[in-house]
Amino acid sequence: MTTSYEAVAKLGFGAMRLPLTDPDDVTAIDIESVKTMVDEFIARGGTYVDTAFVYHNGASETALREALVERYPREAFTLATKCLAWACASKEEAQACLPTSLERLGVDYIDYYLLHNLGGARTAKFDEYDMWNYVAKAKADGLIRHVGFSMHDGADVLDELLTAHPEVDFVQLQVNYLDWDDPVTQSARCMEVAAKHGVPVIIMEPVRGGRLANLPERGAAVLAEANPEASQASWAYRFCLDLPGVLTVLAGASTLEQMRDNMATFQTHKPLTDAERDAIAEVVAALRSVDLIPCTNCGYCVKDCPEGVKIPVALNLLNLEKTTEDRSFAKGLYSWQAAEGPASKCIQCGTCEAACPQSIPVITRLAEAVEHFEG
């Protein structure tokens, strides 16, 4: 059982979607708002802050230097960042990530350094670029305190990775109540594999890219009846907090209000009762009563799309159509949200499918979007 004190210690501040001063420029981070969020986080007992080389095209790391590193003693926080080696063009580029992150963050060492998003065809790049030996040496040199990796793949792949790399100190896995027994994500089985190898887990996507904080009515109604006072996000966090072997639960926040809601959930943590677990099972059944595309809007697919197709926009609107059962509503949004990269521009090269951590058959789904929204 996790106490509220331990729960706050497990809260991770995810700096993937920070507030912006210009909604069209992902690097235009609203630094004053980030400072306020950081202050709230630290004042209430949080320590773990998670970023990545690629978040906000690098601006997340520099924003954290300004809002966190330059304003608090180094021992007041724990920093995690990541290297997306598979998206680098060469070994030199991949191995330049760590020194660049250290410089952007303004620190001498990284507490938790992750090889970012292993799984599928991406894993081979980390071998090709000799990243395992590189991070081991960096750890020996004192530049990294703990080495780990994040992974979007199934339990068997995780088992292979942890068998091949017994030296890793932790893993970061996608775990939430919707993915718990999902046949692709296999959250439960992945947790079992991590436990078998004795490796602690950092949980990412506890609210499934925000989806579990903004449930369709058929799911929202179940939770509202079970507890009208609790936010939907709080159910998702509570589900993760009591899982054994969990080091940190990452909670993304784009506003101070979201940060406060997250902190309140962790600070007042109580284990789920049997009745509450039944309510969650009921929500999952309700959500699965229609077949939604599991896109988390991570954006990996659009990075190298030669046609600039607005893939997450199209998939999100296909989901919206199913959720609202209103095609004309979704089609109206599509007409302007996907105007710069409609699904019909797809030349079926397959690059997006290789990059997608959710293994979504993007090309097939885009054909549906053309049929539903461009006719």
Closest to ligand SF4 by CB, 147 or 362: 362
Binding mask 354-373 for ligand SF4 (x = CB under 6 A): -xx-x-x-xx--x-------
- Those residues with Cβ within 8 angstroms of residue 358's Cβ, 6 or more apart along the chain or in another chain: 152, 184, 185, 294, 295, 296
297 binds ligand SF4 (CB under 6 A): yes
Closest to ligand SF4 by CB, 122 or 238: 122
Segment near ligand SF4 (CB under 6 A), from 23-31, 246-254, 283-291, 310-318? 310-318
Closest to ligand SF4 by CB, 21 or 364: 364
Q: How far is the CB of 324 from ligand SF4 (least distance, A)?
A: 19
86 binds ligand SF4 (CB under 6 A): no
337 binds ligand SF4 (CB under 6 A): no
Strands (E), the chain: 11-14, 48-50, 78-83, 110-118, 144-151, 170-174, 201-204, 246-252
CA distances from 191 to 112, 203, 240 (A): 19, 10, 11
271 binds ligand SF4 (CB under 6 A): no
Name the residue among 316, 295, 322 with its Cα closest to residue 185: 295
Q: How far is the CB of 214 from ligand SF4 (least distance, A)?
A: 16
Residue environment code for 180-208, b if the CB has 16+ CB neighbours within 10 A, otherwise e: bebeebbbebbbebbeeeebbbbbbbbbb
163 close to 217: Cβ distance less than 8 angstroms: no
Structure tokens at 12: 């991770």
Closest to ligand SF4 by CB, 271 or 299: 299
Name the residue among 282, 273, 211, 264 with its Cα closest to residue 239: 273
Segment near ligand SF4 (CB under 6 A), from 22-30, 112-120, 213-221, 289-297? 289-297
Closest to ligand SF4 by CB, 190 or 366: 366
CA distance 362 to 351: 10
Is the C-alpha dihedral spanning 41, 247, 156, 83 positive or negative? Answer: positive
Is the C-alpha dihedral spanning 269, 209, 185, 180 positive or negative? Answer: positive
241 binds ligand SF4 (CB under 6 A): no
Closest to ligand SF4 by CB, 162 or 366: 366
Closest to ligand SF4 by CB, 278 or 371: 371
* C-alpha 19, offset from chain centre: 16
Binder among 196, 347, 364, 371 for ligand SF4 (CB under 6 A): 347
Binder among 11, 162, 190, 311 for ligand SF4 (CB under 6 A): 311
| Residues engaged in binding ligand SF4 (CB under 6 A) | 295-301, 305-307, 309, 311-312, 315, 346-352, 355-356, 358, 360, 362-363, 366
